[in-house]
A and B are shown apart, each in its own frame.
Chain A
Amino acid sequence: MIGFWILAPVMVACALGLLFARKAVHAALLLAVVMISLAVLYLIQDAPFLFAVQIIVYTGAILMLFLFALMFVGVDASDSVVETIRGQRAISTLVGLGFGLTLVVGLAQVSFGTAFGLGAANKQGNVPAIAKILFTRYVFAFEVTSALLITAAVGAMVLAHRELLTPKRTQADLAAQRLRDYAEKGTHLGPLPPPGVFARHNSVDTPALLPDGTAAEASISRVLAARGTVKSAPEISGDIAELTEGGEE
């Protein structure tokens, strides 16, 4: 019960935060907190299977799906504070408060008595007990739900599918395009030289050496060069001498 009284305020606070958060990503993360707290509540109430499923499916899969969608839509997108429909916020708050109060007051009138407890039902363990019921009494619902899942997956694929508006570019087209770029703009035809050709350095901050011993700039990322973390050729000359001398002796 202590767990409940700690988690309940947290959950309510996070839900309210979900309500008031400006940025959608913040809302998603607050929802994650709520879901995990819920999972703990399930655990407290002798439902370990659901605790696991809640975290794996809900928080892990569904919320991540939300986050992907948010990334797609635009992480920066935020709702403006101004309400477009006149009176919507006021009336919704009022009606919501009324609704909530009605539910709470109504439920407070009900005497639930002492809980039966799941001691007997979970005698062989929660998971076997669930399995026993799921695959005997609710097997039809189970099958139908699996059909539903398949349908949902297919539906998602259909909905997310993008039609190719231009013909697909084959490898020949790409090669021809590269040659055209080289002819017109002088773009380098082949792949860029990889950094750090020598056996002792193949990290991204070691440039490749040209035959005359200078560093090839095309082999280093411009960002690293801008940061100044690239090892210059004189720095590695000691290594080079060491190697060449070691080879002569």
Chain B
Amino acid sequence: MNAPALMSAPLMHLPPVVDPSATSGVFSLLWLVVALPALGAVVLLLAGKRADAWAHLLGCATVAISFLISLILFFSLLGRGHGDRQVTQHLWTWFSAGHYTVNLDLLYDPLSALFLLLITGVGGIIHVYSIGYMEHDERRRRFFGYLNLFVAAMLVLVLASDYVGLFLGWEGVGLASYLLIGFWQHKPSAAAAAKKAFVINRVGDMGLFLGSALIFVTFGSTSFAAVSASSHQASSGTLTVIGLLLLLGACGKSAQFPLQTWLLDAMEGPTPVSALIHAATMVTAGVYLIVRSNFIFSLSENARTAVIVIGCITLLMGAVIGCAKDDIKKALAGSTMSQIGYMVLAAGLGPAGYAFAIFHLLTHGFFKANMFLGAGSVMHGMDDDVNMRHYGALRKAMPVTFATFAIGYLAILGVPPFAGFWSKDKIIEAAFGQNFVVGLCTLVGAGVTAFYMTRLMLMTFETSKRWEKGMHPHESPKVMTNPLKSLATLSALGGLFLVNGWITTWLTPVVGERVEHSLAVGSIGMSLIALVVVGIGVAVAWQLVGSRPVPRVAPENVSVFTRAARADLYGDAVNDEVVIKPGVAGIRGLGVFDGSVVDGIVQGLAASLTAISVKLRLVQNGFVRSYALAVLAGALIVIFAMLAVNFS
């Protein structure tokens, strides 16, 4: 192997090369995993009203079968040796232009195996939940069609072996997100939120697109195999730029700063949508991108630093926003933003943190989907009211919902032995190993997370009844509570992924050897410190929210921090000033320019031509003598020319 030209300091090894073998045996079923939901989407969207009776069953069936196949493939991959865990299935050649060929191949390796399970598993659970949740909606068939479309697109995203294929899935999930956020299209706020999500994602997509283009220019190919094999040969400047562009793409899709303003508005969509897309899967696509592109990020310290900074900012931002929201879904959305900040931060730590980012991604998928579905259950019982100030004392009315929600709550706080404890603490450890300030941010974030989640729990399930008149909250039907129970179980047991460091070893073929940084306080010491901080957060919440009566109407007289948090830390205002106002002014200017200058030139040209011809036509005055004069003048010119030629 050639000695690499440029390497960043703490790296011992080169990032692993994507070098898959062809599929054989059971792996040939890989394409079915994608094809089934895609087929489901097509059938459901084209079938028409006659399919309304069985639409939900078909939608769930396709995802369920995909999950079964994913499970079989996962165990088959487990069965293979450690170094033999990358397979590829060639579907067809998308296009071939000169030396550049893009194949639509599916790449199945440890990373995509985990994602497949997450997407089809949690997706399947949410599909079942939607049967009950969307029961009274007459457009339920379309809903399942869009959900299947989303699952298919997300699977393409994680199974692609090429940046172009990834982009195909990327755009697909963006489309599905737009369709699902604006599902209740009669609501102007939903339509606006869908547009906002799409437009902001577009900005991020540009980053991914330009990054892919730069990869093509640098490496001559966009397939992971080719790029990972030769990424160490590119200059560090190029790698940094590619990393920053890919980071921009990730920010758009994962609602990281500065492209985070769309996530809270995306809560306009139905709750299953929020659970599936904006908690468990789509918003994690950015983290997937960074981890998948580890062969770029591991070699560029500056790109990694940028990723860490973005992660830090977002995790604190999301936490602060979540503290002041009275809408239960928006509070959970702020929490999602913050948790993804953790994942992004972990991914930015390089080989020290890739595996933990994915681990936290999985556990977050479990407990956040759990809590979102729980919120949906609460809303279902409270007649679709989202304002937590109208909740209170729901523990007795909805016991199952409370129990499952509580497990998710403990998981996100990071209380052992629930899943969140294992994943979040590993991230905090790795953060302190990298840099003290970064570690401090994660710790503070954990404390604020504890605060706002406790506030949410107290306002919803404890404290006194603040219900609207005539409200009779009841438990949700089994079709909705069973998924809750399944997800609660996963939230509780998700920590098992870390037994014997299994997940780290499992992902090594993809992200490289993990670099261990040992801390002064040791691993257990760190966990204790984290628990103490969490405890402080819970106590503060109890003091401020639990021990006083909660006002039914949000108080006006609040501190400047609360006001800022209520306004999403002025994210929308900043966008307005920095982007929209200059953009609209620019467009207006262009309009004026087009109307006066461009039109002026064109019409001026026409007008001047007309004026010239009006003057010119007077030459044709009908008099023979004038024409004869013209003939003589012409003859004179010809003679001049002849003389000039002859005597020159």
Asked whether any CB of A lies within 8 Å of a CB of B in the complex, the reply is: yes
Binding site for B on A (CB under 8 A): 84-85, 88, 91-92, 95-96, 98-99, 102-103, 106, 109
Determine the chain A residues whose CB is within 8 A of the CB of B633 once the complex forms.
95
Given A85-B621, A85-B625, are A103 and B647 also a contact pair (CB < 8 Å)? no
B647 touches A109 (CB 8 A): yes
Of residues 615 to 631 in B, which have CB atoms within 8 Å of A's CB atoms? 621, 623, 625-626, 629
Determine the chain A residues whose CB is within 8 A of the CB of B621 once the complex forms.
85
A88 touches B626 (CB 8 A): yes
Known A-B contacts: A85-B623, A88-B625, A99-B635. Give 13 more (CB < 8 A). A84-B623, A85-B621, A85-B626, A92-B629, A92-B632, A95-B633, A95-B636, A98-B636, A99-B632, A99-B636, A102-B643, A103-B639, A106-B639
Determine the chain A residues whose CB is within 8 A of the CB of B643 once the complex forms.
102, 106
**Chain A: which residue is nearest B629 at the CB level?**
A92
Determine the chain A residues whose CB is within 8 A of the CB of B639 once the complex forms.
99, 102-103, 106
Determine the chain B residues whose CB is within 8 A of the CB of A85 once the complex forms.
621, 623, 625-626
Q: In the bound complex, what is the Cα–Cα distance between A106 and B639 (angstroms)? A: 9
Q: Let me know if B593 is at the binding interface, CB within 8 A.
A: no
The one of A84, A88, A102, A109 that contacts B636, using a Cβ cutoff of 8 Å: A102
Of residues 592 to 634 in B, which have CB atoms within 8 Å of A's CB atoms? 621, 623, 625-626, 629, 632-633
The smallest beta-carbon distance between B536 and chain A, in angstroms, is 103
**Chain B: which residue is nearest A102 at the CB level?**
B639
Q: In the bound complex, what is the Cα–Cα distance between A103 and B626 (angstroms)? A: 22
B632 touches A88 (CB 8 A): no
What are 15 pairs between A and B in contact, CB < 8 Å?
A: A84-B623, A85-B625, A88-B623, A91-B629, A92-B629, A92-B632, A95-B632, A95-B633, A99-B636, A102-B636, A102-B639, A102-B640, A106-B639, A106-B643, A109-B647
Determine the chain A residues whose CB is within 8 A of the CB of B640 once the complex forms.
102
* Most B-side CB within 10 Å, residue of A84, A106, A109: A106
The smallest beta-carbon distance between B642 and chain A, in angstroms, is 8
B625 touches A96 (CB 8 A): no
Sort chain B's interface into a size bin.
10 to 19
Q: Closest 9 A-B residue pairs measured CB to CB?
A: A99-B636, A106-B643, A95-B633, A85-B623, A102-B639, A95-B632, A92-B629, A98-B636, A85-B626
The smallest beta-carbon distance between A81 and chain B, in angstroms, is 16
The one of A95, A102, A109 that contacts B629, using a Cβ cutoff of 8 Å: A95
Q: In the bound complex, what is the Cα–Cα distance between A85 and B630 (angstroms)? A: 14
Determine the chain B residues whose CB is within 8 A of the CB of A98 once the complex forms.
636
Q: In the bound complex, what is the Cα–Cα distance between A98 and B639 (angstroms)? A: 11
Determine the chain B residues whose CB is within 8 A of the CB of A88 once the complex forms.
623, 625-626, 629
| A-B contacts, CB under 8 A, total | 31
The smallest beta-carbon distance between A102 and chain B, in angstroms, is 6
**Chain A: which residue is nearest B623 at the CB level?**
A85
Q: In the bound complex, what is the Cα–Cα distance between A102 and B643 (angstroms)? A: 9
The smallest beta-carbon distance between B635 and chain A, in angstroms, is 7
Determine the chain A residues whose CB is within 8 A of the CB of B647 once the complex forms.
109
Q: In the bound complex, what is the Cα–Cα distance between A95 and B639 (angstroms)? A: 13
**Chain A: which residue is nearest B632 at the CB level?**
A95
The smallest beta-carbon distance between B569 and chain A, in angstroms, is 81
**Chain B: which residue is nearest A88 at the CB level?**
B625
The smallest beta-carbon distance between B133 and chain A, in angstroms, is 92
Determine the chain A residues whose CB is within 8 A of the CB of B635 once the complex forms.
99
The one of B623, B626, B632 that contacts A96, using a Cβ cutoff of 8 Å: B632
The smallest beta-carbon distance between A12 and chain B, in angstroms, is 19
Determine the chain A residues whose CB is within 8 A of the CB of B626 once the complex forms.
85, 88
Q: In the bound complex, what is the Cα–Cα distance between A96 and B635 (angstroms)? A: 11
Q: In the bound complex, what is the Cα–Cα distance between A147 and B473 (angstroms)? A: 122
**Chain B: which residue is nearest A100 at the CB level?**
B636
Determine the chain B residues whose CB is within 8 A of the CB of A96 once the complex forms.
632
The smallest beta-carbon distance between B213 and chain A, in angstroms, is 67
Q: In the bound complex, what is the Cα–Cα distance between A96 and B643 (angstroms)? A: 17
**Chain B: which residue is nearest A92 at the CB level?**
B629
Q: In the bound complex, what is the Cα–Cα distance between A99 and B633 (angstroms)? A: 8
**Chain B: which residue is nearest A83 at the CB level?**
B625
The smallest beta-carbon distance between B504 and chain A, in angstroms, is 100
Q: In the bound complex, what is the Cα–Cα distance between A92 and B621 (angstroms)? A: 16
Determine the chain B residues whose CB is within 8 A of the CB of A99 once the complex forms.
632, 635-636, 639
The smallest beta-carbon distance between A103 and chain B, in angstroms, is 7
The smallest beta-carbon distance between B428 and chain A, in angstroms, is 98
Determine the chain B residues whose CB is within 8 A of the CB of A109 once the complex forms.
647
The smallest beta-carbon distance between B407 and chain A, in angstroms, is 104
The smallest beta-carbon distance between A9 and chain B, in angstroms, is 25
The smallest beta-carbon distance between B634 and chain A, in angstroms, is 10
Determine the chain A residues whose CB is within 8 A of the CB of B636 once the complex forms.
95, 98-99, 102
The smallest beta-carbon distance between B636 and chain A, in angstroms, is 5
Q: In the bound complex, what is the Cα–Cα distance between A106 and B623 (angstroms)? A: 31
Q: In the bound complex, what is the Cα–Cα distance between A106 and B646 (angstroms)? A: 10
The smallest beta-carbon distance between B628 and chain A, in angstroms, is 9
**Chain B: which residue is nearest A106 at the CB level?**
B643
> Residue-by-residue, is B455-470 near A (CB-CB < 8 Å gives 1, otherwise 0)?
0000000000000000
Q: In the bound complex, what is the Cα–Cα distance between A170 and B632 (angstroms)? A: 55
Determine the chain B residues whose CB is within 8 A of the CB of A91 once the complex forms.
629
The smallest beta-carbon distance between B605 and chain A, in angstroms, is 30
The smallest beta-carbon distance between A84 and chain B, in angstroms, is 8
The smallest beta-carbon distance between B146 and chain A, in angstroms, is 80
Determine the chain A residues whose CB is within 8 A of the CB of B629 once the complex forms.
88, 91-92, 95
Q: In the bound complex, what is the Cα–Cα distance between A84 and B623 (angstroms)? A: 10
Determine the chain B residues whose CB is within 8 A of the CB of A106 once the complex forms.
639, 643
The smallest beta-carbon distance between A101 and chain B, in angstroms, is 10
Q: In the bound complex, what is the Cα–Cα distance between A118 and B348 (angstroms)? A: 111
Q: In the bound complex, what is the Cα–Cα distance between A41 and B315 (angstroms)? A: 116
Q: In the bound complex, what is the Cα–Cα distance between A96 and B633 (angstroms)? A: 9
Q: In the bound complex, what is the Cα–Cα distance between A96 and B623 (angstroms)? A: 18
> Residue-by-residue, is B43-57 near A (CB-CB < 8 Å gives 1, otherwise 0)?
000000000000000
> Residue-by-residue, is B396-416 near A (CB-CB < 8 Å gives 1, otherwise 0)?
000000000000000000000
The smallest beta-carbon distance between B621 and chain A, in angstroms, is 7
**Chain A: which residue is nearest B647 at the CB level?**
A109
The smallest beta-carbon distance between B633 and chain A, in angstroms, is 5
The smallest beta-carbon distance between A26 and chain B, in angstroms, is 21
**Chain B: which residue is nearest A101 at the CB level?**
B636
